[in-house]
């Protein structure tokens, strides 16, 4: 049903009022009375620095931090963060469903809510053991929150059922970095954008997902027209419109292209023999060491012609892109969910790293494989702190006894406290909730009822398990399933650190007091944990700064060393890049490079030292092409993919509060190629049905040449159209990350 | 009266009024519920109007297809002839030198994306002469930096195609080109 | 006597069927905008012009006005008006008697009036019966077209279309969530005048939309197939003074004088046939021109 004219007018009036709040330079009163508090944007992994303007204890405006990497620039979402703080949709009182699922949420006191939640956890653990409880966290949680939760659950409750939504977005990138380089996280920074001569952008719609970075790339080209931009994406996005070469290919076949590029590079003798001879080891898919000749033989089948057959990219372009990549002085690769959210996502990551290692485009300004992080704190909060079911802090793994012992010693718990078996990864966790193996879960800062793949399969789990949720907004779909809803302080209402794509840790200082009866999540977690039976000595922190100090200390001596980033220093500076071992160290631009990376000894014989691996070398891995889990076929002839839109963040629980952003994208739609649309007589706005093997949904059509024929796209932000019901939940074998990007669908016009 | 556009396919206001019989089929067939019917004069018949500031037209073109009397001619979207959108670059955040905000909402929502609104150099939204004045950009712009003038109010020269620059005050250039400096790297 | 009628033996009364069709048509034009609201757009429009899954149907006078005002015609205009005129040629102005929502209201007003003041109405001589109304309507239409041609190129006569006002009212109410105020005072005002003056004078003397339809109906009398009321004098058992069929006709026509002039105005409502049924079967429907 359509909105009435009156409703539209109401929306228009509200937006004018809010526009005044959200924009810089339009502050309500005199500038002199405004206190500017430094922080980081709440949204994407670009990690733009912000300054929040506070007047009389209320946040009134926001502008970009000129001293952070974004140089004062913000995208529209970030510029409109202020109204989100004060939206009426905020959860401001603790609430419980006293009589189980489906009953009404009742406002209660903090004590009652926490006791109610804690008792359930205690009872569950005593009856069913610690593996019947879990924590599901987020790449948008503050680092202190994730570190704390990791400690509480793994050393306090003694279960490794600690996972989070980075499993759904960056796990493959983690897998890629760790299998290639031994340790996680990129080696470059955003400076590489300013120095690259060739950009290889694959599986990333940078212009919509990382707009501020995209502008930096576009300007690099604008002022240096010789810079080449290659975009590899089945969709003709805004990103591809600045490309010198846009390769669109049959979805899911990019692994063939990447191997094909390596094939051409070696055949044309464009590889840097000296570099990979010195710094790389060739390894088969089963882990055994091989030689360069073996690699050549492995690549023999990936001729340009064969690649053309598989991908649809012309053989000529395969050669062209390989040469552009290799011959350019400095090539920078950027990728995101198109590569990560795949059933062979780790392999896809490895193949990109292979290209850089083969050509030596690594360890120099402008030459690097830089994985773009989706969320603002997947890196700093979850990956680095090891808050996943198979990891421990600072690059340690559960499976390694020595690592477990190190953590037990550091945390002051007896040896053997940390379980030796890994816990449930995200998808398996919600599966375990459905079967009843996991009976109580603490969900923080994420919205799994909206974002899990193959939703129809996992909502029974949410319906069954006891859920304690820390959340800021009623709008989140997951609140429907919460048994205990705890109001969390939002963003700048508390202080904490975010670590973004380029290994930069930036502090958001507390700008205003938490609204209503909400509390900082670190306080909520500690209070809850103590009541649930966790030893208080494990969590003796007064505030987030204390937690930061412990984590900082722990990092000392590890490859993730940021010991030099004291709280004071973070307050003064606008973010510092790790490794940063001492307080006077300025931070690291080029990781693994002697003279740049403080963790490489100054007298190391090689200039490049991949100290993540025991032999100091990076692995070039033989990863064959594998097709996607559910390609298009005769019954389901279209490929369906999903992703974000520029004006909404994820499930729009925050951006949906801003009328201007809602106006721009009020609801989900399906992008249909004009050829396909003409064949099915589909116009802009016509209702189109997408039917997959799992579910069926209707969307208004947007006829556009963005998608290639045979591909349709629908964004996932709309809670009234939970598109994840359509997708399957096949995961990458190594990273356990679901393949959101490709499934098969029928497309037809609704009669 | 509130500012309005005519639906796509109107040749001229005179021709339109002589043909529109107020059958309301354009309203019924519109996918976006953006066509309203109001009288043109005190005792006039109700004719279709797009009040684009409340509900713009997304150029599905079904109204111009169905109109029985060709009051709305069945044309492709490029010939909709509804008006012209003009961006005030003193207001548009992408053109500001300080505290710049990146916003491409108009570009994103333009039904003729990449043709009527382009991103100069990849990041500066610019309205081109292919704009047909559907009003979507004005509707979604969070800063209200765009204004759409209906065809019936345009000077004659505009209707023949000699439209003045679609971005006021200056042609489409990058901000630093305005100031003449190349941007430098920040803190370090 | 062989009765070649278009319908087999009528078990249900014609009146009930016709009322059902009239009410159904009225409801259909409420349903169309309702369906549109739910994204079902195969049917669109009102009684000025509408579209049923690609088949256009239109008020011929509205199309004529648009053609005169713009000096052009479109294929849809010709098809839409043509189909309606063709139907009128074959079925007579049955639109007025079976489909027009104003016709329904006008008949109900006539019934009320009859109840109040007893049976009234006398059949005039055949000439006057046809020519006076057609002259009046022609004058009105001609004046309107002249106005369009010279001074005001807008379809001004559509302002006088009662079915248009009624169906547009529901379009506005449902699709646009607005009250079309003129419909709320104009239609009742005309109905009130009909109540006062009697004889369904708007439908008979003034409705401009019916002019082309009745002219098409008149022309259709020359066709081999044409729905009309058949009068078989030999079967008529009523004395000349018993004017039951006359009283039944809400348009004050004389069913016992089936001359072209009467037939052109007869909307085939069947009220006279129904009245005759109780007394014999002199009146019935036929579709062939021959008896």
C-alpha torsion sign, points B25, B28, B33, B39:
positive
Of A2, A687, A750, the CB nearest to C37: A2
Region A24-36: what's the mean pLDDT? Answer: 60
C173: chain B residues, CB-CB within 8 Å:
none
Q: Catalytic site residue A687?
A: no
The DSSP element (H or E) to which A177 belongs, if any, is helix A171-181
CA distances from A251 to A211, A695, C165 (A): 24, 21, 55
CB C138 within 8 A of CB C205: no
pLDDT at C34 over 90: yes
Other beta carbons within 10 angstroms of residue A198's beta carbon come to 24
Query: Which string of b and e fits C80-106 if b means at least 16 CB within 10 Å?
Result: bbbebbebbbbbbbbbbbbbbbbbbbb
Q: Does C54 touch chain A (CB under 8 A)?
A: no
What is the CATH classification number for the domain harbouring B139?
Answer: 3.30.70.20
CATH H superfamily, domain A5-85: ADC-like domains (2.20.25.90)
Q: Which of A661, A620, A664, A651 is nearest to A723 (CA)?
A: A651
Q: Determine whether A169 is an active site residue.
A: yes
Size of interface A-B (CB pairs under 8 A): 145
Classify strands A743-749 and B35-39 as parallel, antiparallel or unpaired. unpaired
The arithmetic mean of pLDDT across residues A338-361, rounded, is 97
| Residues B74 and B58 occupy one common structural domain | yes
pLDDT score recorded for residue A19: 45
User: Given a cut of 70, is residue A599 above it in pLDDT?
Assistant: yes
Contact across the interface for C171 and B27, Cβ inside 8 Å: yes
Which is the CATH superfamily of the domain at A174-372? Dimethylsulfoxide Reductase, domain 2 (3.40.228.10)
- Would the ipTM clear 0.95, i.e. be above it? no
- Domain extents for chain A? 5-85, 95-169+377-540, 174-372, 638-727
SS3 B127: strand
Chain A residue numbers touching C39 (CB-CB < 8 A)? 687, 750
Same domain, B65 and B113: no
- The nearest CA of chain C is from the CA of A669 a distance in Å of 15
For residue B173, is it within any domain? no
- Judgement on whether residues B32 and B50 belong to the same structural domain of the protein: yes
Flag if B68 and C51 touch (Cβ within 8 Å): yes
Tokens of C56: 């256009």
Q: C154, B22: Cβ pair inside 8 Å?
A: no
In a domain, B164, yes or no: no
| Partners of residue C166 in chain B, C-beta under 8 Å | none
Q: What is the C-alpha separation between A233 and A311, in angstroms, rounded?
A: 11
A423 flagged as catalytic: no
Q: Which domain holds residue B133?
A: 82-158
Q: Which residues of B touch A (CB under 8 A)?
A: 30-33, 36, 51, 53-55, 58-62, 93, 98-105, 107-109, 111, 113-114, 119, 121-123, 139-140, 142-144, 174, 182-183, 185-188
**Same domain membership, residue B86 and residue B149:** yes
Would residue B187 count as lying in a domain? no
**3-class state of residue B66 by DSSP:** helix
Each residue of B86-102: pLDDT tens digit? Answer: 999 999 999 988 778 88
Q: Average of pLDDT values for B137-152?
A: 92
For B14, which residue in chain C has the nearest alpha carbon?
C153
For residue C127, pLDDT over 70 is answered with no
A437 Ramachandran zone, left/alpha/beta (phi>0; psi -120 to 50): alpha
How many distinct structural domains can be found in chain B?
2
Whether the CA torsion A387, A391, A393, A394 is positive or negative: it is negative
Chain B: residue whose CA lies nearest to C159: B45
Domain assignments of chain C as residue spans, ordered by start: 14-117+125-288
The string of pLDDT tens digits covering residues A290-311 is 999 999 999 999 999 999 999 9
A400 inside 8 A of chain C by CB: no
Q: Number of B:C CB contacts under 8 A?
A: 105
Contact map slice: A 674-693 vs C, CB within 8 A: 687
* Cβ within 8 Å, pair A687-C39: yes
> What is the C-alpha to C-alpha distance for residues C176 and C178, in angstroms, rounded to an integer?
5
pLDDT at A10: 43
What's the rounded mean pLDDT across residues A246-259?
95
Q: Could you tell me if A509 and A496 are in contact, meaning their C-beta atoms sit under 8 angstroms apart? A: no
Instruction: Name residues 130-159 of chain C within 8 A of A (Cβ).
Output: none
Residue A229, strand partner residues: A199
Q: Three-state SS string across A480-504, please?
A: HHCCEEEEECCHHHCCEEEECCCCE
A95-169+377-540 has which CATH code? 3.40.50.740
Chain B CB within 8 Å of residue C55 CB: no
* Mutation site, C177, C178, C179, interface A, largest A CB count within 10 A: C177
Q: Do C49 and B46 touch (CB under 8 A)?
A: no
Note the pLDDT tens digit of each residue in A504-528: 999 999 999 999 999 999 999 999 9
Q: Is A170 a catalytic residue?
A: yes
Respond yes or no: is residue A530 known to be catalytic.
Answer: no
Residue window 624-653, chain A: list those with CB within 8 Å of chain B: 645-647
pLDDT of residue C9: 52
For residue A478, what is the DSSP state?
Answer: G
- What is the distance between the alpha carbons of residues A623 and A732, in angstroms, rounded to a whole number? 13
The answer, yes or no, to whether the previous bond of A579 is cis (omega within 30 of 0) is: yes
Instruction: List chains touching A (3+ CB pairs under 8 A).
Output: B, C
Q: Give the integer Cα–Cα distance in Å for A388 and A378.
A: 11
User: Are B88 and B70 members of one domain?
Assistant: no
CA-CA distance, A44 to A47, in Å (whole number)? 6
Domain assignment present for B3 = no
Residue A264: which of A236, A305, A293, A234 has the closest Cα? A305
Per-residue model confidence (pLDDT) at position A32: 58
Exposed, middle or buried, C273 (CB in 10 Å: 0-12/13-18/19+)? buried
CA dist list (Å): C127 to A449, C141, C197, C212? 79, 21, 22, 19
CATH architecture of the domain with range A638-727: Beta Barrel (2.40)
Compute the nearest-CA separation of B23 from chain C (Å): 5
Would an 8 Å CB–CB cutoff place C74 in contact with chain B? yes
Q: Take residue C107 and report the two structure tokens written for it.
A: 């008949």
B154 and B86 within one domain: yes
Q: Of the candidates B58, B78, B98, which is a domain's last residue?
A: B78
Whether residues B56 and B89 share a domain: the answer is no
* Distance, CA of A145 to CA of A525 (rounded, Å): 8
Query: In this predicted structure, which of A47-56, A72-81, C3-12 has the lowest mean pLDDT?
Result: C3-12
Question: For residue B117, is it within any domain?
Answer: yes
B18, B23, B66 member nearest C153 (Cβ): B18
Average pLDDT, chain A: 93
Residue A337 appears among annotated catalytic residues = yes
Chain C residues in contact with B69 by the CB 8 A cut-off are 49, 63, 66, 70, 74, 76-77
pLDDT at position A751 is: 74
Q: What is the mean pLDDT of residues A67-83?
A: 94
For A557, other C-beta atoms within 10 Å of its C-beta total: 13
For residue C107, the 8-state DSSP code is H
Percentage of chain A exceeding pLDDT 90? 94
pLDDT of residue A33: 81
The single residue of A38, A49, A63, A77 carrying the catalytic annotation is A77
Tokens of A680: 């099915």
Q: Which of A337, A407, A433, A708 is catalytic?
A: A337
Q: What is the DSSP string of C139-198?
A: HHHHHHHHHHHHT--S-GGGGG-HHHHHHHHHHHHHHS----HHHHHHHHHHHHHHHHH-
Q: Quick: pLDDT tens for A188-213.
A: 999 999 999 999 999 999 999 999 99
Per-residue pLDDT reduced to its tens digit, B27-63: 999 999 999 999 988 777 899 999 999 999 999 999 9
């Amino acid at each position: 049903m359509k909105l009435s004219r009156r409703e539209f007018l109401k929306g228009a009036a509200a937006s004018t009022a809010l526009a005044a709040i959200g924009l810089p330079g339009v502050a309500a009163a005199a500038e002199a009375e405004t206190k500017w508090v430094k922080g980081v944007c709440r949204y994407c992994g670009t990690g733009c620095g912000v300054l929040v303007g506070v007047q009389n204890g209320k946040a009134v405006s926001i502008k970009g931090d000129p001293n952070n990497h974004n140089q004062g620039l913000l995208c529209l979402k970030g510029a409109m963060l202020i109204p989100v703080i004060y939206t009426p949709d905020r959860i401001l009182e603790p609430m419980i469903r006293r009589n189980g699922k489906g009953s009404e949420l009742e406002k209660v006191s903090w004590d009652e809510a926490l006791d109610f939640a804690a008792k359930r956890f205690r009872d569950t653990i005593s009856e069913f053991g610690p593996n019947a409880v879990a924590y599901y966290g987020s790449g948008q949680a503050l680092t202190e929150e994730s570190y704390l939760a990791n400690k509480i659950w793994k050393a306090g409750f003694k279960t490794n059922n600690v996972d989070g939504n980075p499993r759904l977005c960056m796990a493959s990138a983690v897998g890629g970095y760790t299998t290639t380089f031994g340790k996680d996280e990129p080696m470059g920074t955003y400076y590489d954008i300013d120095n690259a001569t060739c950009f290889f952008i694959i599986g990333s719609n940078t212009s919509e997902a990382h707009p501020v970075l995209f502008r930096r790339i576009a300007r690099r080209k604008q002022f240096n027209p010789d810079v080449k931009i290659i975009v590899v994406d089945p969709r003709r996005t805004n990103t591809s419109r600045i490309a010198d070469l846009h390769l669109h290919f049959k979805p899911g076949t990019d692994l063939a292209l990447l191997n094909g590029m390596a094939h051409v590079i070696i055949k044309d003798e464009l590889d840097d023999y000296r570099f990979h001879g010195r710094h790389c080891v060739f390894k088969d898919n089963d882990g055994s060491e091989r030689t360069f000749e073996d690699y050549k033989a492995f690549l023999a089948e990936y001729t340009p012609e064969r690649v053309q057959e598989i991908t649809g990219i012309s053989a000529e372009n395969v050669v062209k892109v390989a040469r552009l990549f290799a011959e350019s002085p400095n090539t920078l690769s950027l990728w995101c969910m198109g590569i990560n959210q795949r059933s062979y996502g780790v392999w896809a990551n490895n193949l990109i790293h292979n290209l850089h290692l083969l050509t030596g485009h690594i360890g120099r300004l402008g030459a690097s494989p830089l994985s773009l992080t989706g969320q603002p704190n997947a890196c700093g909060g979850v990956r680095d702190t090891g808050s996943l079911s198979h990891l421990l802090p600072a690059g340690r793994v559960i499976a390694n006894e020595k690592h477990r012992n190190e953590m037990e010693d550091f945390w002051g718990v007896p040896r053997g406290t940390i379980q030796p078996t890994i816990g449930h990864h995200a998808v398996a966790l919600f599966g375990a909730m459905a079967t009843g193996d996991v009976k109580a879960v603490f969900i923080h800062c994420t919205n799994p009822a909206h974002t899990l793949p193959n939703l129809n399969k996992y909502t029974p789990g949410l319906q069954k398990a006891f859920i304690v949720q820390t959340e800021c907004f009623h709008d989140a779909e997951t609140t429907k399933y919460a048994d205990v809803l705890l109001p969390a302080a939002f963003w700048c209402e508390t202080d904490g650190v975010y670590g973004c794509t380029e290994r930069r840790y930036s502090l958001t200082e507390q700008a205003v007091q938490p609204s209503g009866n909400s509390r900082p999540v670190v306080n909520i977690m500690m209070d809850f944990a103590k009541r649930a039976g966790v030893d208080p000595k494990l969590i003796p922190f007064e505030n987030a700064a204390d937690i930061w100090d412990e984590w900082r200390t722990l990092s000392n001596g590890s490859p993730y060393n940021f010991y030099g980033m004291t709280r004071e220093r973070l307050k003064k500076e606008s973010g510092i890049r790790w490794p940063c071992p001492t307080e006077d160290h300025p931070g690291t631009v080029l990781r693994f490079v002697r003279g740049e990376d403080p963790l490489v000894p100054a007298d190391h014989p090689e200039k490049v030292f991949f100290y993540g691996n025991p032999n100091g070398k990076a692995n070039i891995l033989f990863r064959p092409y594998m097709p996607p889990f559910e390609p298009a076929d005769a019954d389901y002839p279209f490929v369906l993919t999903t992703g974000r839109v520029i004006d909404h963040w994820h499930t729009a629980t925050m951006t949906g509060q801003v009328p201007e952003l809602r106006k721009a994208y009020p609801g989900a739609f399906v992008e249909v190629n004009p050829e396909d649309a003409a064949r099915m007589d589909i116009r802009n706005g016509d209702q189109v049905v997408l039917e997959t093997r799992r579910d069926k949904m209707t969307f208004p059509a947007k006829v556009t040449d963005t998608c290639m024929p045979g591909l349709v796209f629908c964004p996932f932000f709309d809670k009234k159209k939970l598109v994840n019901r359509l997708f399957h939940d096949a995961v990458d074998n190594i990273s356990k990350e679901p393949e959101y990007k490709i499934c098969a669908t029928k497309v037809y016009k609704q009669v | 009266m509130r500012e309005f556009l005519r639906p796509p396919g109107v040749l001229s206001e005179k021709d339109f009024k002589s043909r529109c019989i107020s059958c309301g089929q354009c309203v019924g067939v519109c996918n976006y519920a953006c066509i309203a019917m109001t009288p043109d004069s005190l005792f006039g018949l109700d004719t279709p109007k797009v009040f684009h500031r409340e509900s713009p037209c997304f150029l599905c073109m079904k109204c111009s297809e169905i109109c029985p009397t060709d009051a709305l001619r069945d044309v492709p979207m490029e010939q909709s002839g509804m008006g012209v959108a003009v961006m005030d670059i003193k207001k548009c955040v992408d053109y500001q030198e300080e505290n710049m905000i990146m916003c491409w909402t108009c570009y994103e929502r333009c039904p003729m994306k990449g043709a009527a609104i382009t991103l100069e150099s990849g990041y500066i939204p610019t309205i081109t002469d292919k704009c047909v004045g559907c009003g979507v950009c004005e509707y979604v712009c969070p800063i209200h930096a765009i204004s759409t003038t209906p065809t019936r109010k345009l000077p004659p020269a505009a209707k023949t195609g000699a439209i003045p620059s679609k971005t006021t005050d200056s042609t489409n250039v990058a901000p630093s080109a305005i100031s003449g400096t190349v941007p430098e790297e920040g803190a370090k | 006597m062989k009765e070649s009628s278009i319908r087999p033996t009528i078990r249900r009364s014609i009146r009930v069927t016709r009322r059902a069709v009239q009410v159904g048509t009225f409801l259909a034009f409420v349903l169309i905008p309702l369906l549109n609201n739910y994204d079902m757009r195969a049917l669109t429009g009102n009684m000025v012009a509408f579209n049923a899954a690609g088949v256009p149907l239109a008020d011929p006078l509205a199309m004529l006005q648009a053609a005169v005002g713009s000096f052009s015609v479109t294929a849809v205009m010709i098809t839409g008006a043509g189909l309606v005129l063709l139907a009128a040629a074959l079925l007579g102005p049955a639109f007025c008697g079976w489909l027009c929502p104003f016709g329904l209201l006008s008949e109900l007003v006539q019934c009320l009036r009859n109840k109040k003041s007893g049976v009234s109405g006398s059949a005039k001589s055949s000439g006057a019966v046809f020519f006076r109304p057609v002259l009046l309507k022609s004058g009105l239409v001609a004046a309107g077209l002249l106005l369009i041609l010279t001074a005001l190129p807008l379809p001004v006569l559509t302002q006088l279309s009662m079915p248009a006002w009624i169906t547009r009212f529901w379009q506005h109410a449902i699709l646009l969530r607005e009250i079309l105020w003129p419909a709320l005072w104009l239609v009742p005002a005309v109905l009130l005048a009909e109540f006062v003056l009697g004889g369904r004078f708007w439908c008979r003397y003034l409705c401009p939309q019916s002019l082309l339809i009745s002219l098409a109906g008149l022309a259709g009398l020359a066709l081999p197939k044409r729905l009309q009321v058949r009068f078989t004098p030999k079967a008529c058992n009523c004395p000349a003074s018993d004017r039951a069929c006359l009283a039944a006709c809400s348009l004050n026509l004389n069913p016992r004088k089936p001359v072209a002039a009467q037939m052109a105005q007869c909307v085939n409502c069947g009220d006279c046939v129904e009245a005759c049924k109780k007394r014999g079967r002199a009146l019935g429907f036929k579709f062939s021109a021959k008896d």
